[in-house]
Structure 1
Amino acid sequence: MGIKSKEIVENFYTSLFKGEEGVLDNYLHPNVNLTWYGTTGLKKLDFNEILNLRDDMAKNFEELKAEVEKLVEEDHQIAIQFTYHVKTIENPDEEMPLAHFMAIWELKDKKLFKGVQISQLGEEIDESPWS
């Protein structure tokens, strides 16, 4: 049995910064389009812009990992809620939340094709909102 759509979305966010060779090729469609509403405003990103963002973040953080809270699929659209936690170069012993995200993706050829993402700067939360 092949990889499921929800697994593709989750694996993209959880493996994005682990230094795997060709990770973007594995998950992103060559014509990917991500609309991102963030604290710095609206961004529209294509494949190369997502690659550049990933490379910039990898230079700035010792470690970055995604903690997935919710993953839902309906009518060929996958929604994910997660938080990126980071360890900075200045303080590699302390992990802190970087940002909270909600994203909805459509896949094409089993790759992320069209996405909308919303993020907010991270803050500590005591428990899962889904508890």
Structure 2
Amino acid sequence: MALKVKDVVTEFYQSNFYEGKTVLENTLHPDVELSWYGTTGFRKLDFNGIAEISKELSSSYESLRAEIEKIVYKKNEVAIHFTYHVRTIENPDEEMPLAHFIAIWEVKDDKLYRGVQISQLGEEIEESPWS
């Protein structure tokens, strides 16, 4: 099961979840709950809240790519460290870091169930802290 929970998290972050609800429905548990500590404060999100943010991403960016730095997992829990890189609609030729994240997820029924996420606005990083 451990490899499967890692795959659930990896597939979600590497997907185009922001382009429609289908990926969200396939990867998020109906009772999903995400506690997000970000630069604008704390947000508690359910499925609809995550879908709304995904919709905003879709209208703001040409593309969104997760660069995964590290994943660790045990039983049904997964921690992931990653950076989202974006291409804006105004400048689709240049990719830039949007934000750096650390998230911890509990997986239930092969879907993301309970998560805690911390983010910081993106900046270029010389090298991975894990290298």
TM-score between both structures, scaled by the size of structure 1 = 0.94
Offset at 1:77? 1.0
Q: Which runs of 5+ in 2 are unaligned?
A: none
Q: Secondary structure of 1:124's partner?
A: coil
Query: What residue number does 1:129 align with?
Result: 129
Structure 1 pair 20–43 and aligned structure 2 pair: CA distance change class (3 A) = closer
Structure 1 pair 17–24 and aligned structure 2 pair: CA distance change class (3 A) = closer
- The aligned amino acid for 2:61 is F
Q: Percent identity?
A: 62
Q: Secondary structure of 1:125's partner?
A: coil
Query: What residue number does 1:13 align with?
Result: 13
- The aligned amino acid for 2:107 is L
Query: What residue number does 1:22 align with?
Result: 22
Using the alignment, how far apart are the partners of 1:48 and 1:129 within structure 2? 34
Offset at 1:17? 3.9
- The aligned amino acid for 2:108 is K
C-alpha root-mean-square deviation of aligned residues, in Å?
A: 1.6
Higher helix proportion: 2
Mapped contact 1:84–1:99 kept (Cα < 8 A): yes
Q: Which stretches of structure 1, 4 residues or more, deviate above 4 A after TM superposition?
A: none
Mapped contact 1:17–1:64 kept (Cα < 8 A): no
Mapped contact 1:98–1:121 kept (Cα < 8 A): yes
Query: What residue number does 1:64 align with?
Result: 64
Query: What residue number does 1:4 align with?
Result: 4
Using the alignment, how far apart are the partners of 1:87 and 1:30 within structure 2? 30
Mapped contact 1:16–1:54 kept (Cα < 8 A): no
Q: Deviations over 1:11-41 (max 9, x none)?
A: 1111144636610011100000000000000
Mapped contact 1:17–1:58 kept (Cα < 8 A): no
Query: What residue number does 2:105 align with?
Result: 105
Q: Which runs of 5+ in 1 are unaligned?
A: none
